[in-house]
Amino acid sequence: MFDQLDYVYLPSRDVAADVAHYTERLGAELVFAIERFGTRVAMVRLSPDPPALLLAQHLGGDAPVLVHRVADLEQAVAALRERGVEVAARFEIPPGEAVELVTPAPQRLALYELTRPERMAQLPGRRDF
Protein backbone atom coordinates (compact mmCIF):
# COMPACT_ATOMS: atom_id res chain seq x y z
CA MET A 1 0.00 0.00 0.00
CA PHE A 2 2.77 2.47 0.92
CA ASP A 3 4.87 2.68 -2.23
CA GLN A 4 7.65 5.03 -1.20
CA LEU A 5 8.57 7.66 1.35
CA ASP A 6 9.05 10.62 -0.99
CA TYR A 7 9.05 13.65 1.32
CA VAL A 8 9.59 14.65 4.90
CA TYR A 9 7.90 17.96 5.69
CA LEU A 10 9.78 19.76 8.46
CA PRO A 11 8.19 22.67 10.33
CA SER A 12 10.39 25.75 10.08
CA ARG A 13 10.25 29.09 11.84
CA ASP A 14 12.97 30.55 9.57
CA VAL A 15 13.21 28.74 6.23
CA ALA A 16 16.10 30.86 4.92
CA ALA A 17 18.20 30.10 8.02
CA ASP A 18 17.30 26.42 7.84
CA VAL A 19 18.25 26.31 4.13
CA ALA A 20 21.61 27.86 5.00
CA HIS A 21 22.18 25.24 7.70
CA TYR A 22 21.29 22.30 5.46
CA THR A 23 23.24 23.53 2.43
CA GLU A 24 26.30 25.19 4.01
CA ARG A 25 26.85 22.92 7.01
CA LEU A 26 25.33 19.59 5.96
CA GLY A 27 26.12 19.79 2.23
CA ALA A 28 22.52 19.42 1.07
CA GLU A 29 21.47 20.43 -2.44
CA LEU A 30 18.91 23.26 -2.60
CA VAL A 31 16.24 22.18 -5.09
CA PHE A 32 13.94 25.19 -4.74
CA ALA A 33 13.00 28.01 -2.39
CA ILE A 34 9.50 29.41 -2.88
CA GLU A 35 7.76 32.34 -1.26
CA ARG A 36 4.07 32.38 -2.08
CA PHE A 37 0.74 32.99 -0.35
CA GLY A 38 2.55 34.58 2.61
CA THR A 39 4.72 31.58 3.44
CA ARG A 40 8.06 30.05 2.51
CA VAL A 41 8.84 26.47 1.49
CA ALA A 42 12.18 25.08 0.39
CA MET A 43 13.23 21.62 -0.74
CA VAL A 44 16.67 20.26 0.03
CA ARG A 45 18.18 16.88 -0.74
CA LEU A 46 20.77 15.25 1.46
CA SER A 47 21.15 12.46 -1.10
CA PRO A 48 19.90 11.79 -4.64
CA ASP A 49 17.52 9.15 -3.27
CA PRO A 50 14.23 9.94 -1.49
CA PRO A 51 13.10 11.31 0.79
CA ALA A 52 13.56 14.97 0.00
CA LEU A 53 13.23 17.39 2.92
CA LEU A 54 10.71 20.22 2.67
CA LEU A 55 11.23 23.07 5.09
CA ALA A 56 7.77 24.57 5.52
CA GLN A 57 7.05 27.81 7.36
CA HIS A 58 3.28 27.21 7.33
CA LEU A 59 3.44 23.71 8.85
CA GLY A 60 2.13 23.77 12.40
CA GLY A 61 3.58 21.86 15.31
CA ASP A 62 7.09 20.60 15.85
CA ALA A 63 6.84 17.06 14.47
CA PRO A 64 7.85 16.30 10.89
CA VAL A 65 5.32 14.74 8.52
CA LEU A 66 6.42 11.60 6.66
CA VAL A 67 4.72 11.73 3.24
CA HIS A 68 4.36 8.39 1.47
CA ARG A 69 3.28 7.97 -2.15
CA VAL A 70 0.49 5.49 -2.89
CA ALA A 71 -0.80 4.29 -6.25
CA ASP A 72 -4.43 5.19 -5.52
CA LEU A 73 -5.17 7.56 -2.65
CA GLU A 74 -8.89 6.82 -2.32
CA GLN A 75 -8.29 3.07 -2.40
CA ALA A 76 -5.56 3.37 0.25
CA VAL A 77 -7.76 5.55 2.46
CA ALA A 78 -10.67 3.10 2.12
CA ALA A 79 -8.45 0.14 3.03
CA LEU A 80 -7.06 1.98 6.05
CA ARG A 81 -10.53 3.04 7.21
CA GLU A 82 -11.54 -0.63 7.15
CA ARG A 83 -8.69 -1.18 9.62
CA GLY A 84 -9.89 1.64 11.86
CA VAL A 85 -7.49 4.35 10.69
CA GLU A 86 -8.95 7.86 10.52
CA VAL A 87 -8.05 10.76 8.26
CA ALA A 88 -7.05 13.86 10.23
CA ALA A 89 -6.98 16.24 7.26
CA ARG A 90 -7.06 16.44 3.48
CA PHE A 91 -4.69 18.84 1.75
CA GLU A 92 -2.94 19.52 -1.53
CA ILE A 93 0.76 19.39 -2.30
CA PRO A 94 2.21 20.22 -5.72
CA PRO A 95 2.32 16.59 -6.95
CA GLY A 96 -1.24 15.74 -5.88
CA GLU A 97 -3.93 15.38 -3.24
CA ALA A 98 -2.85 14.15 0.20
CA VAL A 99 -4.25 13.08 3.54
CA GLU A 100 -2.75 13.16 7.00
CA LEU A 101 -3.64 10.13 9.10
CA VAL A 102 -4.57 10.09 12.76
CA THR A 103 -1.91 8.29 14.78
CA PRO A 104 -1.98 7.40 18.49
CA ALA A 105 1.39 9.03 19.11
CA PRO A 106 3.01 12.34 18.16
CA GLN A 107 4.32 10.99 14.85
CA ARG A 108 2.74 12.44 11.72
CA LEU A 109 2.07 10.32 8.66
CA ALA A 110 0.57 11.38 5.32
CA LEU A 111 -0.23 9.72 2.01
CA TYR A 112 -0.44 11.26 -1.44
CA GLU A 113 -1.15 10.15 -4.98
CA LEU A 114 1.14 11.41 -7.73
CA THR A 115 -1.36 12.98 -10.13
CA ARG A 116 0.59 16.11 -11.12
CA PRO A 117 4.21 15.06 -11.77
CA GLU A 118 4.67 18.06 -14.05
CA ARG A 119 4.25 20.41 -11.06
CA MET A 120 7.32 19.06 -9.29
CA ALA A 121 9.28 19.16 -12.55
CA GLN A 122 8.61 22.93 -12.77
CA LEU A 123 10.04 23.77 -9.34
CA PRO A 124 13.75 22.85 -9.40
CA GLY A 125 15.93 25.91 -9.72
CA ARG A 126 13.28 28.35 -8.51
CA ARG A 127 14.71 30.78 -5.95
CA ASP A 128 12.31 33.33 -4.48
CA PHE A 129 14.50 34.07 -1.44
pLDDT tens digits, 31-40: 999 999 899 9
Give the pLDDT band (50/70/90) at residue 1: confident
In the predicted model, what is the mean pLDDT of residues 82-89? 97
**Residue 91 is assigned to a structural domain of this protein:** yes
Give pTM, 2 decimals.
0.92
Domain for residue 37, yes or no? yes
Compute the distance between CA of residue 79 and CA of residue 85 in angstroms, rounded to an integer.
9
What is the C-alpha to C-alpha distance for residues 95 and 67, in angstroms, rounded to an integer? Answer: 12
Contact 68, 6 (CB under 8 A): yes
Q: Is 128 a domain residue?
A: no
Query: Number of folded domains in the chain?
Result: 1
Residue range of the domain that includes 62: 4-122
Looking at the domain assignment, is residue 127 inside a domain?
Answer: no
CATH number at residue 102: 3.10.180.10
Establish if 129 belongs to a structural domain: no
